[in-house]
Amino acid sequence: MLADSPYAPPGLPARPTKPRPRGRTMVIDTGTPTRAFEDLVDSHGDLVDAVKFGWGTGLVTRDIKTKIDICHSAGIDAYFGGTLFERYVAGDAVPDWVALQRATGMTTVEISDGTVLMTATEKSGWIRRMADEFTVISEVGFKDGGRSMALTPADWAWSVRSDLAAGATTVTLEARESGRSGFCTGDGTPREEVLDALAGCGAPPERLLFEAPTRPLQAHLLRRFGPAVNLGNVATADVVGLETLRLGLRADTFGGV
């Protein structure tokens, strides 16, 4: 990248190469055509750490295995969104979900309770069970904005600690693909008291990943936590733009974050 060259302006933050412990970018794929997806990875794979195949698209994408293989060949983690897991839970068919992971070559899974009613004990049990075979990413927060708003800052912090204790390697903080739920209000404003609680919950920063699908939310989190914050649900078209935000090259984060 030219950002690493002698031509770059002074003071750009250092960006480690993959595998990155911090400053990771997770892209949400909602049905990108396979050739376009391959082009994305070929051109910008060095900026992408993980791809989440969201919206259950993995079940209706004819060549999903090809897309997964493209990710793995480029050193990009890949996994299905947690709502798909919840759909199998609701149908009492988790063994079929496990079989799907194996058949597609997935080594990472996301466990969530954002849609299906699930006790904390049940969620922890699923994390522990799946951690025996897979790398587990959990998700905290609900798809429904009202349910998420009812979670206190202490609830958020406790849930993160609980998921990590159960065996999750990373905890994703819900904001949906709209940036208007989870730790954000209905108008997309981050709940600062929740961010305070997450920052002080005792979890290492590299083990938290904030869903940040919009530029204002990305910029806010970068200003709040710095360029090494892990961000997810990034649209395929926004990969390069997010990197320029991390480097302080855009007006939103100009001169450093």
pLDDT, tens digit, 9 for 90 and up, residues 182-212 = 999 999 999 999 999 999 999 999 999 999 9
In a domain, 222, yes or no: yes
Q: Alpha-carbon distance 245 to 46, whole Å?
A: 16
Q: Is 223 helix (H, G, I), strand (E, B) or coil?
A: helix
Q: What is the pLDDT of residue 81?
A: 96
Burial of 20 (0-12, 13-18, 19+ CB in 10 A): middle
In a domain, 106, yes or no: yes
Token match 């159960």: residue?
A: 166
Q: What is the pLDDT of residues 236-246, one digit of tens each?
A: 999 999 999 99
Is the bond preceding 10 in cis, omega lying within 30 degrees of 0?
no
pLDDT higher than 80, residue 256? no
pLDDT higher than 70, residue 172? yes
Q: What is the pLDDT of residue 10?
A: 84
Check which CATH number belongs to the domain holding 116 and give it.
Answer: 3.20.20.70
In a domain, 3, yes or no: no
Q: What is the pLDDT of residues 64-122, one digit of tens each?
A: 999 999 999 999 999 999 999 999 999 999 999 999 999 999 999 999 999 999 999 99
Instruction: Give the mean pLDDT of 127-147.
Output: 96
Give the pair of three-digit tokens for residue 21. 């412990």
Q: What is the pLDDT of residue 250?
A: 92
Q: What is the pLDDT of residue 178?
A: 86
Look up residue 13 and give its amino acid.
Answer: P
Q: Alpha-carbon distance 33 to 10, whole Å?
A: 38
Q: What is the pLDDT of residue 11?
A: 83
Beta bridge partners of 51: 27, 78
Q: What is the pLDDT of residue 257?
A: 62
In a domain, 242, yes or no: yes
Q: Alpha-carbon distance 195 to 193, whole Å?
A: 5
The residue range of the domain holding 241 is: 23-250
Looking at the 3D structure of the chain, how many domains does it have? 1
Count the helix, strand and coil residues of the chain and give each as a percent rounded to the nearest 5: 45, 15, 40
In a domain, 6, yes or no: no
CB atoms within 10 A of CB 66: 12
In a domain, 2, yes or no: no
In a domain, 4, yes or no: no
In a domain, 7, yes or no: no
Instruction: Give the mean pLDDT of 33-51.
Output: 97
Task: Of 67, 112, 75, give the one whose Cα is nearest residue 211.
Answer: 112
What value does the mean pLDDT of the chain take? 95
Residues of the chain above pLDDT 70, percent: 98
